A and B are shown apart, each in its own frame.
Chain A
């Protein structure tokens, strides 16, 4: 029981100081979980992150679930995950309560118009950061361009907009097909020699 509370509170504290999403979380996790508490190793943490990056859901949450599960099974996973969610939910609810009264003010609207510009840049930078690991060859570049075009413009050209979920499933399927053919090609080449 004590360890469950410990898991909950540790991840609640981590959730309270993690700004900017999963990628900003790694150094904090390293300090809290590897150096201070020895709950996991740096290698395991990297693996959790790389799996979290390619499975559905929020990366930081996936990592919390992984470490909770490793410590105390399913109950540990739930304690860590709910812990991680606690402060972000409370803080956003407070802001939402507060902002409904102020969102109409002219000064607030000017501030948000300025902030939106910053958000464009932050998204662009996130794309640039992820680019290297994701767009690695002509096939992945083509897939990037195709999905971008379909996601951004399919509603303009076609009578309907292709749902995002359909694009995700198609991209995964195409990835399996193309990498499978590549692997077979590589094996044949190896046999030829």
Chain B
């Protein structure tokens, strides 16, 4: 029963997440709120990190990892297949009608609205990770001092990574590895 609920949730995620793997994030946060024993918000942030440093599309990595957390190895495999199923079905239909699909002004109009909506939801997901990584609400509540609200060493690291990625154009994997080392050295 638990596995069926899991597959249903990931099928729904696959059906409604438009715009790539990160678009699955808001659905994962929703799932975490609805089924707190599946995975926590902090777990989702860890999943993103693992996804970024391993091969494959981020959405698939997330469903495998979340599925494993809920129901072991079968959970991981079934959640991934459930996530993939709706897009396979839809692409098979589109492939048959490709020429018509491209010229349809209704479809064009829908995408005109969907694109900004999808990056808005990715932004909101980023804010959720930032709340865990860059901000310390407990320290702020305890001292009432605004300077305690931000985790300053984390903010400095964030700026360094941002500038470093712009200038150096290394793979994200390298920056993730370096951030892990920084986290260990400076006790994040």
Contacts and interface: CB of A to CB of B under 8 A. Distances in A.
Interface string B7-22: 0000010111111111
Contacts of A60: 56-57
Contact of A178 (B90, B102, B109, B165): B109
A93 B8 CA distance: 20
Nearest to B14: A57
Interface stretch (A1-9, A31-39, A142-150): A142-150
Interface in B143-174: 154, 157-158, 161-162, 165, 171-173
Interface string B106-120: 101111111111111
Interface residues of B, number: 100
Nearest to A55: B90
A126 B22 contact: yes
Interface in A1-41: 15-23, 25
Contacts of B120: 143-148, 151
Does more than half of chain B's interface fall in helix, strand or loop, or is it mixed?
helix
Residue from B15, B17, B109, B182 with most neighbouring chain A CB atoms (10 Å): B109
A9 to B, nearest CB: 15
Interface string A94-122: 01110100010001001111111111111
Interface in B73-91: 73, 76-77, 80-81, 83-84, 86-88, 90-91
B125 interface: yes
Contacts of A146: 120
Contacts of B4: none
A120 B64 CA distance: 22
B38 to A, nearest CB: 13
A19 B45 CA distance: 17
A135 B161 contact: no
Contact of A74 (B86, B92, B157, B182): B92
Contacts of A143: 113, 116-117, 120
Contacts of A161: 30, 33
Given A15-B55, A119-B49, A163 B30 contact: yes
Nearest to A167: B117
Nearest to B157: A117
Contacts of A55: 18, 87, 90-91, 94
Contact of B80 (A19, A85, A123, A172): A85
B171 A175 contact: no
A90 to B, nearest CB: 9
Contact of A20 (B86, B105, B172): B172
Given A54-B19, A65-B87, A176 B109 contact: yes
A119 B133 contact: yes
Contacts of A124: 126, 162
Contact of A22 (B20, B122, B132): B20
Contacts of B105: 179-180, 183
A69 to B, nearest CB: 5
Contacts of B21: 21-22, 58-59
A107 B185 CA distance: 9
Given A18-B56, A89-B80, 9 more contacts: A54-B19, A56-B15, A70-B95, A78-B88, A117-B133, A117-B157, A119-B129, A127-B123, A175-B112
